[in-house]
Structure 1
Amino acid sequence: MKFLLALTILAAIAAPAAAQQPPAKPWSLSIGVVPVVGPAWQGSRDTALSIFPDLRVNYRDTVFFSIPDGLGWNVVNQDGWKLGPLAKTRFGRRESNGGSPFLIAGGSEALRGMGDVDLAVEMGGFAQKSLAAGRLRLRAEVRQGFGGHDGLVADTIVAWSDRRRDGTLAWYLGLRASFADAGFTNTYFGVTAAQSAAAGLPVFRTGSGLVSAGVNAALIKPLGPRGRDGALTLFSAYDRLGDAAADSTLIRLRGDRDQVTVGLGYSYRFSW
């Protein structure tokens, strides 16, 4: 999954399920679809339409799994704290159109000669603190990549939400920043000698540091009595690439450090 869109979904699409009636039964399943219009790849100046599946499974407030949030376990879950292990999947990037497997229209030819980036699994942990009766959320994640990249990634999120359960419109506002080491940034933004010859870009080796920082917002509308017919989420995000990414010759010559994404998601929850 493209990095920017993964963060967008992580921060914005997590809200629809929370806006619906919380299940009294221990297991819950949420199924949805999320059309997204945004950069074809992180740092791209070209736009693409992707349709992401939104599938999430929860066991009480203990174990969770979804495409944007990954697989995690709230080992500590008390006094507003949640801590535990976390594993996520980062889908690959194709040089032919710059997109992930979920791209259906648009795309970019700027990556031709750069080669494909394979799927990566990122394993690590998270810590989260909820304040103001759960409306304010502070979260940090650190993950080590395997497969498509072998870098270390860290994400921080500060989010404020009004998650009503009476069928009225709810909202979400989040600030986030992502950091990574050279193992990650060189995979997605570096230009090797071989890539330089094939793509016609100057050789560039990136370093570690800030990859991107941004803000995202969402409006959530539960459907039916107390959200029993699912929820619609309209969301948008703005990200600005940090120097660890934006200094790359790939971004300076063929990309854009300012990234804007918009999307509309629908999800429906079952419980048993």
Structure 2
Amino acid sequence: MALSIFPDLRINYKDTIFASIPDGLGWNGVNRDGWKAGPLAKLRFGRDEERGGSPFLITGGSDALRGLGDVDAAVEVGGFVEKRAGPWRGRIEVRRGFGGHDGVVADGSVAYQARRGRTIINIGPRATLASREYIETYFGIDALQSRRSGLRPYSASGGLLSYGVGGTVIRPLNRRSAITLFTGLDRLGQNAGDSPLIRERGRRTQFTLGLGYGFSFNL
């Protein structure tokens, strides 16, 4: 178990341009009849073998990455398509990495939104596909890494990276602030899950739980 504090500054301009750390920097080039689509860029933070991976780690790190080396931050550039129909939303993103990895990542999700008074609930399945270059960067083990870590060498192929379900519960406090509870249960696909890093030092099933506070500024 690990605890991290994650800053999340979000900027939106007329439902056209959006920017945040989780959602990236994007432009709704298409925005009508429930459709949104456009270019997108995201930042993927690097991996530190000494701190256990997360740059925002506060406590609960591990030594599972010792001997595998650091991975630099990467910028992922691509595009997205989103469709809303009533309470349902489907979204697909495809991005290519530059920097820490040069692989291709595709995220897909479907979410259902419900309201209970002022509370907003979103829940739905999600999955991620990744190319061989991406999975090799984060789950592959070359000869040098094998000698340093004691794990056997492993060469991964591309395919299903993970699948699971995620949800958020948003409770407005007033017109400008809200508390958000978010959770997710995801399982690594075979290509990543068969890595000795996961088999011997990790778990294929990952559970996340977080609590956030948001305040809106109108500029």
What secondary structure is seen at the aligned counterpart in 1 of 2:208? strand
1:186 aligns with 2:136: yes
Residue identity in the other structure for 1:158: V
Residue identity in the other structure for 1:127: V
Displacement of 1:163: 5.3
TM-aligned CA distance change 1:74 to 1:163, over 3 Å:
farther
Residue identity in the other structure for 2:16: T
Displacement of 1:174: 2.2
Q: How far apart, CA to CA, are the structure 2 residues paired with 1:263 and 1:194?
A: 36
TM-aligned CA distance change 1:163 to 1:89, over 3 Å:
farther
Displacement of 1:249: 1.3
1:84 to 38, 44, 51: 38
Displacement of 1:203: 0.3
The structure, 1 or 2, with the larger RCO (C-alpha pairs under 8 Å, 6+ apart) is 1
2:66 to 112, 137, 155: 112
Q: Percent identity?
A: 59
Displacement of 1:97: 2.3
Residue identity in the other structure for 1:146: F
Instruction: Determine the structure 2 residue equivalent to 1:214.
Output: 164
1:83-102 CA-to-partner distances (Å, cap 9, x unmatched) read: 10000000011101213211
1:48 aligns with 2:5: no
Task: Give runs of aligned pairs for residues 71-220 of structure 1, distance below 5 A.
Answer: 71-132=25-86, 135-162=87-114, 168-220=118-170
What secondary structure is seen at the aligned counterpart in 1 of 2:216? strand
TM-aligned CA distance change 1:189 to 1:73, over 3 Å:
same
- The 4+ residue runs of structure 1 with deviation greater than 4 A are none
What secondary structure is seen at the aligned counterpart in 1 of 2:9? strand
Does the aligned pair in 1 maintain the 2:176–2:217 contact within 8 Å? no
1:106-142 CA-to-partner distances (Å, cap 9, x unmatched) read: 111011000001100000000000001xx21100000
Residue identity in the other structure for 1:180: A
1:181-207 CA-to-partner distances (Å, cap 9, x unmatched) read: 110000000000000000000000000
TM-score, length-normalised on structure 2?
Answer: 0.97
What runs of 5+ residues in structure 2 fail to find an aligned partner? none
What secondary structure is seen at the aligned counterpart in 2 of 1:203? coil
What secondary structure is seen at the aligned counterpart in 2 of 1:194? helix
Instruction: Determine the structure 2 residue equivalent to 1:247.
Output: 194
Higher helix share: 1
1:130-184 CA-to-partner distances (Å, cap 9, x unmatched) read: 001xx211000000000000000000010111257xx722211021100101100
Q: What is the CA RMSD across the aligned residues, in angstroms?
A: 1.1
1:269 aligns with 2:216: yes
Instruction: Determine the structure 2 residue equivalent to 1:232.
Output: 179
Q: How far apart, CA to CA, are the structure 2 residues paired with 1:119 and 1:163?
A: 37
The total of aligned residue pairs comes to: 219
Residue identity in the other structure for 1:233: T
What runs of 5+ residues in structure 1 fail to find an aligned partner? 1-46
TM-score, length-normalised on structure 1?
Answer: 0.79
